[in-house]
Amino acid sequence: MKVLVAIKRVVDANVKIRVKPDNSDVDLANVKMAINPFCEIAVEEAIRLKERGVASEVLVVSVGDDRCQEQLRTALALGADRAVQVKTDSTVEPLGIAKILNAIVKKEECQLVVLGKQSIDNDNNQTGQMLAAIGNMPQGTFASEVVCEGSEVLVTREVDGGLQKIALQLPAVITTDLRLNEPRFASLPNIMKAKRKPLEVISPEELSVDVTPRLTTVKVVSPAEREAGVIVSSVAELVEKLKTEAGVL
């Protein structure tokens, strides 16, 4: 079984985000970048499937300019076999990403697609669902456990009411939740080996996919600063403030 994993280059989760002075976008100058944390979980799960003998090959894909090759090499160092960069200098929206992944799934004849449930930059939580719809594949979103049995994959999903278990016929799409696994760290020998693993660069045009943006960012602003709290001397005073100042009672 060939497994495709999509990864995204994002600002490192430990970095404080800054907005550009003209409010046009987030300032990425001299900012540490990394693989989206949910995508790291997807890579780890695919590698574990290969280690268990379920998957024969793990293919990682990223869409973006040449800088995303750093994250692709990291995924290769973690244990992926091959990488594909779909090169574009423009911002690609979730629908465009889904179309690109669907084209690669068909081209590579992948049986399973594993993605992070969302990216920490835009938090859209859309790509996996769009890919399943475009490719007419069953989907298991917010997965906390994945078990492959023959032509089926059993997915335990985290939903509002608890856990839901579903069986999907392959080919299928899975999006990962935080509790699915704990991603490993790349060892130095594997980092060196990753430099020799194949990394193919293609364009959206080669896949016959139009990635023209359909949305326009009007303005980006930082969250409002939180006001300092007020210490009250009694419950009665708290209730009065909730009535008169907060307007919640």
Domain spans of the chain, in order of start: 2-218
Mean pLDDT over each residue of the chain, to the nearest integer: 91
- Residues 86 and 62 sit within 8 Å (Cβ to Cβ): yes
Task: Record the tokens describing residue 179, joined without a space.
Answer: 């509790």
Question: In this prediction, what percent of the chain has a pLDDT beyond 90?
Answer: 68
Cα–Cα distance, 14 to 223 (Å, whole number) = 17
Determine the pLDDT at residue 126: 92
- For residue 222, what pLDDT band results from cuts at 50, 70 and 90? confident
pLDDT for 249: 64
pLDDT tens string 109-144: 999 999 999 998 888 899 999 999 999 999 999 999
pLDDT (0 to 100) of residue 119: 92
Kindly report the pTM of this predicted structure.
Answer: 0.86
Q: Is 96 exposed, middle or buried (0-12, 13-18, 19+ CB in 10 A)?
A: buried
> Residue 201 has what pLDDT?
96
Q: How far apart are CA 170 and CA 188, in angstroms?
A: 35
Closest CA to 208 of 100, 88, 107, 66: 100
Q: Is 130 exposed, middle or buried (0-12, 13-18, 19+ CB in 10 A)?
A: buried
Does 3.40.50.620 match the CATH number of domain 2-218?
A: yes
Strands 82-87 and 199-202: parallel
pLDDT (0 to 100) of residue 244: 84
The radius of gyration computed from the CA coordinates of the chain, to the nearest angstrom, equals 21
* pLDDT beyond 90 at 199: yes
Residues near 92 by Cβ (< 8 Å), separated by ≥ 6? 63, 64, 100, 204, 211, 213
Q: How far apart are CA 63 and CA 84, in angstroms?
A: 9
Give dist(CA 73, CA 96) in Å, integer. 23
Give the percent of the chain with pLDDT over 70.
98
Cα dist. 124→95, 128, 153, 170, 191 in Å?
11, 10, 25, 25, 31
Contact status, residue 5 vs residue 146, Cβ threshold 8 Å: no
